């Protein structure tokens, strides 16, 4: 929204104030200023011209040859504007004038006719963007008069961030900003001149009924005659163009001008056929054609303005096609109403129809704006030389919002909440400057809320603090750190576990942390051949194939592998993230660790890759302190990535916590041909993370021990675990620990046979081992191997 400083000058004297300073003060005390625009009007040499003759240029459709009277001199020009008419007054730029955009007007010959200047649109004068028509000046404007004597050549527009005034409907018009600036700079705010509406009290009322005052808390209207579709006064047009609107004719301009002055949208109905107004929802779904000619699908709850049994306007949003005022209209009904913000907002959002009016009604306009706008309309019309004949009394139903609301707050509340000393007198002075009343009543302060402030804006005592504090200056509040009592809270176990895992993987295992999206891409799921079960689903996804929330981290992690192929042969990435499962109409959200390791090194890389992942899991269990994890064979083909024989389940405390494995089978087709991949996914929720004692250390022996290495031959097909189980049977007082070192197959060994090297740590608790001890142990173990049918390498 753009606010014109020139316009504001009508209500408050802003002379000697730098526009940048005004912008800064508004930003610091009222609302965020996004930018200050300079309006530079090109009025030099431009004069008021009168169209003395106009005839179409033969053979050149749309062009008119015009003789323009300049109060004596007559010049001719060729003009393409569609709104030319005989006797019209318009700005005329003679040769030598420089217009907005830098074009210099020259004498030319156009279509064989001499053009000695040009009639100007608002844009050509540097006002706004509207250039389709030439500016249509009031009849009374004297021809030949220099335009720079009639209108200012410069203005500054303060562009306000609309979001920052969502709660301030009083700031959706210039007068509201004038009020703020008057308070900020301690200058006088000129009252708005109004016509006294009581003067019409002896006239008959126009019939109005409102079905539901919660949807329409107030409705006012006035019947009038005698407003002709003439051009508006130059300054009214100037201001409307400057802030980016377009001047059309006095009636339309007046309603817009009042809306941008006080913030109240108005609507004019053709009263020649409007007999009575009723405000009520449509009642049944149907169609309604708005004045822009669009037929719109309506719902039963859309609030309408009815003429007896026919809906004539979409309340607070847009009029209907047939209720529009036309040049033939002689009587009109001027509406100033108040609608429930939510009701207007719902209809306008659903219909995709955002108008200046709906934007304001959505913000809970104060009802007091209704009589104010009506009285201003009449006054401005009179100033434009078109005093309408009022034919009804000021007819209204509902609340006019003229009863002042008040709030009672403890007398010391404002400084206490600010944390800053502030006298009662200063509080009262600040509040007084923005028209709040303030009176001490014993231990309390009685604060009187001015009618132009909305209920949504000023409703609780903290709102009063805001009013005082912002004018006091937030930066004038001294910063003081609070003194606090220490409170005992529990640890955030999951977060600590998350961070432990992040450190382990990044620092200890060389993994890179990634963030994947919370939803799947169905196109990728199809590619890896996996379909999730029942999922939480977005009603309005970014794309139709991105609607299902992830219940596992794996697919999205796997999806990140191919894009990284090009740069590397090894990829290790992980995510600590949330997964989401439907749960009884709601959702169950848990935190998981997911990791993927990729190698392009061929089949030989697969086992080491998987074993590294398995080792990672053991490390994870150790840093998490969740106690030993049990690995069990995975269920057959649980998912596309967890295939029978190629994955293990992770169990802890009798609960399945996750899985790990390597990719095999059809899913590999989604990746490079030589891709080897291992993966791990584990849920952290409900893992016992803070076991006590955290671990039981074994004391280092005072007597040095020794070790013995054995390489045992074993059929590879039987697997390591079977060998380990067999070796478990060996009992010896000297053996403290058995450690697996390496498995080997290949040269020097028969096909299908692997050599598994184990290191046996031996020692005694009460003395140093002797050579005899060691040799004895070795012999006993070799004996066990022989008895078990095992050979050593």
The answer to whether residue 672 forms part of the interface with other proteins (CB under 8 A) is no
Among 284, 479, 694, 721, binds other proteins (CB under 8 A): 479
Among 209, 383, 512, 674, binds other proteins (CB under 8 A): 512
Choose between 115 and 552: whose C-beta lies nearer to other proteins: 552
The answer to whether residue 564 forms part of the interface with other proteins (CB under 8 A) is yes
> Judged by CB under 8 A, how many residues of this single chain contact other proteins?
89
Which of these, 223, 167, 514, lies nearest to 366 by C-alpha position? 167
Per the DSSP assignment, residues forming a β-bridge with 130 are: none
Choose between 349 and 604: whose C-beta lies nearer to other proteins: 349
The answer to whether residue 563 forms part of the interface with other proteins (CB under 8 A) is yes
Among 142, 342, 653, 752, binds other proteins (CB under 8 A): 342
Binding mask 32-61 for other proteins (x = CB under 8 A): x-----------------------------
Check: CB of residue 195 under 8 Å from CB of residue 379.
Answer: yes
Minimum distance, C-beta of residue 507 to other proteins, in the bound complex (Å)? 5
Minimum distance, C-beta of residue 496 to other proteins, in the bound complex (Å)? 9
Distances (CA, A) of 569 to 401, 558, 562: 74, 15, 11
Please enumerate in sequence order all residues whose Cβ is within 8 A of that of 716, keeping only pairs 6 or more positions apart, or say none: 745, 752, 753, 754
User: What's the rounded Cα separation, in Å, for the pair 495 and 486?
Assistant: 21
The answer to whether residue 568 forms part of the interface with other proteins (CB under 8 A) is yes
User: What's the rounded Cα separation, in Å, for the pair 343 and 360?
Assistant: 13
Choose between 493 and 630: whose C-beta lies nearer to other proteins: 493
Helix (H) or strand (E) holding 344: helix 341-351
The answer to whether residue 549 forms part of the interface with other proteins (CB under 8 A) is yes
Residue ranges of E strands in 235-292: 267-270, 277-281, 286-289
Choose between 186 and 482: whose C-beta lies nearer to other proteins: 482
The answer to whether residue 514 forms part of the interface with other proteins (CB under 8 A) is yes
The answer to whether residue 361 forms part of the interface with other proteins (CB under 8 A) is no
**Near other proteins by CB under 8 A, which window of 63-71, 531-539, 685-693, 766-774?**
531-539
The answer to whether residue 585 forms part of the interface with other proteins (CB under 8 A) is yes
**What tokens were used for 627?**
């106690």
Among 179, 509, 520, 657, binds other proteins (CB under 8 A): 509
Please measure the distance between the N-terminal and C-terminal CA atoms of the chain and give it in whole angstroms. Answer: 87
Among 465, 597, 616, 642, binds other proteins (CB under 8 A): 465
Among 426, 448, 463, 521, binds other proteins (CB under 8 A): 463
φ/ψ (deg, to 5) at 269: -105, 150
- Torsion angle (degrees, nearest 10) of CA 362, 365, 371, 376: -80
How long is the chain?
793
Check: CB of residue 281 under 8 Å from CB of residue 299.
Answer: no
The answer to whether residue 685 forms part of the interface with other proteins (CB under 8 A) is no
The answer to whether residue 147 forms part of the interface with other proteins (CB under 8 A) is no
Query: Residue 693: is the preceding peptide bond cis (ω within 30°)?
Result: yes
Minimum distance, C-beta of residue 495 to other proteins, in the bound complex (Å)? 6
Residues in region 399-438 near other proteins by CB under 8 A: 416-420
Minimum distance, C-beta of residue 671 to other proteins, in the bound complex (Å)? 15
Per the DSSP assignment, residues forming a β-bridge with 318 are: 314
Residues 462, 468, 470, 474, CA torsion sign? negative
- Torsion angle (degrees, nearest 10) of CA 768, 772, 777, 779: 170
The answer to whether residue 31 forms part of the interface with other proteins (CB under 8 A) is yes
The answer to whether residue 480 forms part of the interface with other proteins (CB under 8 A) is yes
Among 76, 164, 355, 622, binds other proteins (CB under 8 A): 164
The burial class, CB within 10 Å (0-12 / 13-18 / 19+), for 710 is buried
**Near other proteins by CB under 8 A, which window of 47-55, 225-233, 537-545, 727-735?**
537-545
Residues in region 60-79 near other proteins by CB under 8 A: none
Among 405, 470, 614, 656, binds other proteins (CB under 8 A): 470
For 355, other C-beta atoms within 10 Å of its C-beta total: 17
Residues in region 218-277 near other proteins by CB under 8 A: none
The answer to whether residue 698 forms part of the interface with other proteins (CB under 8 A) is no
Any idea what DSSP says for residue 320?
A: B
Among 542, 611, 765, 786, binds other proteins (CB under 8 A): 542
User: What's the rounded Cα separation, in Å, for the pair 424 and 440?
Assistant: 9
């Amino acid at each position: 929204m753009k606010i014109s400083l020139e316009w504001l000058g009508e209500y408050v004297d802003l002379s000697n104030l730098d526009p940048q300073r005004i912008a800064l003060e508004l930003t610091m005390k009222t609302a965020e200023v996004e930018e200050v625009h300079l309006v530079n009007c090109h009025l030099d040499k431009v004069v008021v011209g009168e169209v003395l003759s106009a005839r179409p240029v033969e053979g050149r459709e749309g062009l008119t040859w015009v003789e323009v009277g300049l109060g004596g001199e007559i010049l001719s020009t060729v003009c393409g504007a569609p709104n030319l008419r005989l006797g019209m007054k318009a700005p005329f730029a003679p040769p030598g004038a420089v217009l907005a955009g830098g074009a210099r007007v020259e004498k030319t010959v156009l279509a064989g006719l001499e053009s000695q200047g040009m009639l100007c649109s608002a844009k050509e004068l540097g006002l706004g963007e509207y250039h389709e028509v030439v500016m249509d000046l009031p009849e009374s404007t004297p021809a030949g008069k220099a335009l720079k004597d009639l209108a200012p050549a410069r203005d500054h527009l303060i562009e306000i961030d609309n979001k920052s005034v969502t709660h301030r409907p009083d700031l959706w018009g210039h007068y509201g900003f004038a009020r703020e600036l008057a308070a900020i700079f301690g200058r006088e705010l000129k009252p708005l001149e109004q016509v006294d509406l009581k003067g019409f009290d002896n006239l008959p009322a126009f019939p109005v009924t409102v079905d539901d005052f919660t949807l329409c808390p107030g409705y006012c209207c006035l019947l009038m005659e005698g407003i002709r579709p003439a051009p508006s006064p130059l300054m009214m047009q100037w201001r409307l163009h400057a802030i980016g609107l377009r001047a059309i004719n006095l009636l339309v301009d007046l309603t817009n001008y009042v809306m941008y002055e006080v913030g109240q949208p108005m609507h004019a109905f053709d009263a020649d056929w409007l007999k009575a107004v009723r405000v009520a929802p449509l009642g049944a779904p149907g169609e309604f054609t708005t004045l822009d000619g669009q037929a719109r699908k309506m719902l039963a709850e859309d609030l309408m303005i009815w003429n007896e049994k026919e809906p004539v306007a979409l309340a607070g949003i847009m009029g209907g096609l047939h209720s529009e005022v036309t040049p033939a209209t002689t009587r009109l009904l001027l509406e100033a109403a108040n609608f429930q913000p939510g009701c207007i907002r719902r209809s306008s959002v659903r219909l995709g129809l955002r108008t200046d009016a709906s934007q304001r009604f959505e913000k809970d306009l104060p009802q007091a704006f209704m009589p104010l706008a009506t009285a201003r309309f009449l006054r401005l019309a009179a100033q434009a030389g078109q005093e309408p004949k009022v034919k009804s009394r000021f007819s209204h139903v509902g609340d006019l919002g003229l009863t002042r609301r008040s709030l009672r707050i403890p007398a010391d509340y404002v400084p206490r909440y600010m944390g800053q000393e502030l006298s009662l007198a200063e509080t009262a002075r600040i509040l007084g400057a923005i028209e709040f009343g303030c009176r001490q009543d014993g231990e309390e302060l009685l604060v009187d809320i001015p009618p132009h402030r909305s209920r949504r804006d000023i409703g609780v005592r903290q709102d009063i603090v805001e009013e005082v504090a912002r004018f006091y200056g937030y930066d004038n509040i001294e910063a003081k750190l609070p003194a606090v009592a220490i409170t005992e809270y529990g640890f955030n176990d999951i977060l600590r576990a998350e961070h432990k895992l992040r450190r382990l993987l990044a620092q200890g295992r060389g993994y890179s942390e990634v963030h994947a999206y919370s939803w799947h891409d169905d196109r990728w799921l199809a590619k890896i051949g996996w379909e999730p079960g029942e999922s939480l689903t977005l009603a309005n996804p970014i794309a139709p194939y991105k609607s299902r929330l992830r219940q596992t981290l794996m697919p999205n992690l796997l999806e990140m592998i191919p894009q990284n192929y090009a740069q590397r042969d090894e990829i290790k990435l992980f995510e600590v993230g949330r997964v989401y499962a439907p749960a009884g109409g709601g959702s169950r959200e848990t935190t998981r660790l997911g990791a993927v390791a990729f190698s392009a090194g061929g089949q030989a890389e697969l086992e080491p890759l998987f074993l590294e992942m398995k080792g990672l899991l053991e490390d994870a269990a150790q840093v998490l302190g969740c106690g030993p994890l049990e690995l069990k064979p995975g269920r057959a083909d649980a998912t596309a990535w967890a295939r029978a024989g190629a994955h293990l389940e992770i169990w802890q405390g009798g609960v399945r916590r996750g899985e790990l494995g390597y990719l095999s089978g059809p899913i590999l087709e989604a990746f490079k041909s030589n891709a080897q991949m291992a993966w791990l996914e584990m849920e952290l929720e409900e893992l016992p993370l803070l076991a006590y004692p955290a671990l039981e250390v074994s004391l280092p022996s005072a007597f040095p021990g020794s070790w013995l290495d054995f390489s045992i031959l074993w059929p590879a097909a039987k697997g390591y675990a079977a060998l380990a189980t067999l070796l478990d049977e060996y009992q010896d007082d000297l053996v403290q620990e058995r450690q697996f070192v390496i498995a080997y197959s290949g040269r020097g060994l028969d096909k299908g046979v692997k050599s598994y090297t184990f290191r046996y740590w031996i020692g005694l608790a009460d003395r140093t081992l002797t050579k005899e001890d060691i040799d004895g142990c070795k012999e006993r173990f070799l004996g066990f191997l022989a008895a078990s049918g095992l050979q050593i390498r």
